[in-house]
Amino acid sequence: MRRASLGATTARMWPYYPDLLATPVPRYTSFPTAAEFSDAVGLEDLDRELAQISGDISLYVHIPFCEKICWYCGCNTGASNRRERLVSYLDALRREIGLIRRRIAGRAQVRRVAFGGGSPNAISPTDFVGLVTDLTTVGTLVDPVWSIELDPRSLCRDWGRVIAGVGITHASLGVQTLEPHLQAAIGRLQPREAIVAATGMLRRCGITSLNFDLMYGLPGQTLDDLRRTLEQSVALEPDRIALFGYAHVPHLIKRQERIDARSLSGQRLRFAMAEAGHELLTAAGYRAIGFDHFALPGDALAQAAEFGRLRRNFQGFTDDASPVLLGLGASAISIFPDAIIQNEKNAGRYRMRLSQQKLPAALGVRRSAQDITIAALIERLLCQGEASLGAAMTPALIEALDPFVERGLAGRAGDVLTILPAGLPYARTIAALLDPYRQDSTRRFSSAV
């Protein structure tokens, strides 16, 4: 085994070991990850799973439209400029809601409804309220928690009435960066005033948990750029901040070709940025949730982390404890205890399936008993920072863990694996050691930091 210089390049909070971060790893927002999805799983599986639903469930609704698409974005979205496309999509979504309603009415209690995209506010306020009305008749909505992702650039006053009228309490704003030159570099121009105004309006209209999405590793971004954006963001007092490293994979996401790869930070600077972000935000009073999320101590996410109830799903870290998540809309993913099923990703194919009165399940993966076990372990490691591995602590794993244990990034006591504070940036890399599906995956996954 190669013993690289164990002297860390920095004597700060997180030692930097590039060799350990060399292999791209999944974000583990599900296990097995989307890389394992295939079309061997589809409608039959969804039918079977829906027939078994009972108890608490959560809903996710995908609106794959944006008024303007940013160059870095890997989300499933398209331009919203042609109203007919939006209207056809909403018709199809309504049909999907109706089909789901017929299957599960009376058997499920909906505790949460989340809207994501794209930009859910790319559709008109009236259309959105119509969608909410349709959802109200699915199963039994027991005072659910409503959450929505929003584009601050298209947040008109009517949206304030909608948020108050629907009773939405959780919102996430796409901020990314407040530096104008960086905004230009990623195709997302939004003046700071727009963020300030949006934040004010959202608070007045009833949002009690506000998240800012921010990014590091943007083309040409310096540590100072990041610090300024973080300080200005903290001043607006969001309850949560998600600080993501930009993943440059133009071979997978064509629109990223517009981003100048030459001015992208190398991994060492990305690492320094992640660390600077962590230090700044924790010093400002935010609790770190895993590696890249932050929440004020009173926020539900921080509370969940504090009391060991933190979970992980496609929206990142969450306090959602429902065992079932139903995804509606193109590319939406449904999670069941023993299967993960994704809808048609392409909006056109999604609409076509529904025009035939069929639910648009297209691909996914069935979870074996081993999958379920490993999923729980990976989730616990990433959420709690510690897991009792039982039989999964094999000699091979112990050997693979050695470089991390030696460098004080992880601890092993019997079958208990702990990610130490210094090892937080390596959490996904360590979790990947438990993943039997992991292969050399430079092309398929994102950088470890």
Partner 1 sequence: MSSCEACVVRNRAICAALDTEEVGALNAIGRHRDLVAGESLIWEGDDSVLVANVVDGVLKLSTGTEDGREQIVGVVYPSDFIGRPFGQTNSYGVTALTNARVCVFSRRDFDAFARQHPALEHKLLDRTLNELDRTRRWMLLLGRKSASEKVASFLLELSERLVEPGCKVDFGLAHRRLSLPFSRQQIADVLGLTIETVSRQFTRLKTEGIVDLPSRREVTILDRVALEAEAG
Question: Is residue 205 part of the contact set for partner 1 (CB under 8 A)?
Answer: no
The phi and psi torsions of 429 (rounded to 5 degrees) equal -60, -40
Distances (CA, A) of 241 to 45, 183, 230, 317, 402: 36, 18, 9, 11, 33
C-beta of 129: minimal distance to partner 1 in Å?
4
Which residue number, 207 or 230, has a Cβ lying nearer to partner 1? 207
Residue in 3, 5, 7, 106 binding partner 1, rule: CB under 8 A: 106
Q: Are 168 and 147 in contact (CB under 8 A)?
A: yes
Residues for the chain: how many in total?
Answer: 449
Q: How many CB atoms lie within 10 A of CB 397?
A: 15
d(CA 244, CA 365): 27
Question: Is residue 56 part of the contact set for partner 1 (CB under 8 A)?
Answer: no
C-beta of 213: minimal distance to partner 1 in Å?
27
Question: Is residue 94 part of the contact set for partner 1 (CB under 8 A)?
Answer: yes
Buried b (16+ CB within 10 A) or exposed e, 128-161: beebbebbeebbebeebbbbbbbbbbbbeeebbe
Question: Is residue 98 part of the contact set for partner 1 (CB under 8 A)?
Answer: yes
Which residue number, 154 or 267, has a Cβ lying nearer to partner 1? 154
Which residue number, 54 or 370, has a Cβ lying nearer to partner 1? 54
Question: Is residue 356 part of the contact set for partner 1 (CB under 8 A)?
Answer: no
The phi and psi torsions of 152 (rounded to 5 degrees) equal -65, -20
Q: Which stretch binds partner 1 (CB under 8 A): 101-109, 180-188, 381-389, 425-433?
A: 101-109
Q: Which of residues 147-166 bind partner 1 (CB under 8 A)?
A: 158, 161-162, 165-166
Q: Which of residues 121-150 bind partner 1 (CB under 8 A)?
A: 125-126, 129-130, 132-134, 136-137, 140-141
Q: Are 389 and 415 in contact (CB under 8 A)?
A: yes
Which residue number, 146 or 246, has a Cβ lying nearer to partner 1? 146
Residues of this chain that interact with partner 1 (CB under 8 A) are 83, 87, 91, 94-95, 98-99, 101-103, 105-106, 125-126, 129-130, 132-134, 136-137, 140-141, 158, 161-162, 165-166, 357
